């Protein structure tokens, strides 16, 4: 065997090895990209979810998307980072609360915020979010004296800060 045959075989082996490595790296990167792209689509909650069993419930919130859900009679509004805009479907989600207020109960609005960033700014933003929900209730015909606003609370979320950026509305005693 000549040295040029050895060089040719080595080049072939190295080329094959590099092609194999590139294939493995491409497969790994492709798998990660597919999982990241499909995960948010699978995790998006419906605009208004019914009070379905917990096993069937979609995740509470998407990282930075406003949404609204109804869970066990509690209306939960989730907000985008640094925003106080209500998600679409707010009126429909609040329908049972409005009905309960008409029957003599009070709407209790509780704001929450995450622990990241400036605590005072977070509390103020939580307050603005609670006011946005209050204003939505008033627009649906609920008298202001039938709405109880609770002081914003800092909370830690189980999965992401998006879960902590919320306002909850529940019915309370008159």
Question: Which residues lie closer than 8 Å to 100 by C-beta, 6 or more apart?
Answer: 107, 171
pLDDT of residue 35: 62
pLDDT of residue 98: 93
Q: State the 10-residue block means of pLDDT for the chain, 174 residues long.
A: 78 86 79 59 41 39 73 88 86 91 92 81 88 93 92 65 83 80
Structure tokens at 10: 């080595």
Are 62 and 45 spatial neighbours (Cβ–Cβ below 8 Å)? yes
This prediction's pTM:
0.60
E strand spans, the chain: 67-71, 74-78, 106-113, 147-154, 166-172
- The CA distance from 142 to 97, in Å, is 9
- b/e code 107-118 from CB counts within 10 Å (16+ = b): bbbbbbbbeeee
């Amino acid at each position: 065997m000549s040295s040029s045959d050895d060089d040719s075989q080595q080049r072939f082996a190295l080329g094959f090895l590099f092609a194999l490595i590139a294939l493995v790296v491409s497969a790994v990167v492709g798998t990660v990209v597919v999982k990241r792209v499909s995960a948010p689509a699978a995790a998006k909650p419906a605009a208004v979810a019914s009070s379905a069993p917990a096993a069937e419930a979609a995740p509470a919130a998407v990282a930075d998307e406003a949404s609204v859900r109804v869970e066990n009679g509690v209306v939960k509004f989730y907000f985008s980072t640094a925003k106080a805009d209500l998600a679409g479907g707010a009126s429909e989600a609040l329908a049972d609360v409005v009905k309960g207020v008409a029957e003599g109960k009070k709407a209790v609005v509780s704001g929450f915020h995450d622990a990241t960033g400036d605590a005072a700014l977070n509390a103020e933003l939580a307050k603005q979010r609670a006011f946005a929900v209050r204003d939505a209730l008033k627009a649906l015909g609920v008298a202001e004296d039938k709405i109880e606003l609770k002081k914003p609370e800092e909370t830690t979320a189980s999965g992401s800060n998006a879960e902590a950026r919320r306002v909850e509305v529940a019915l309370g005693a008159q």
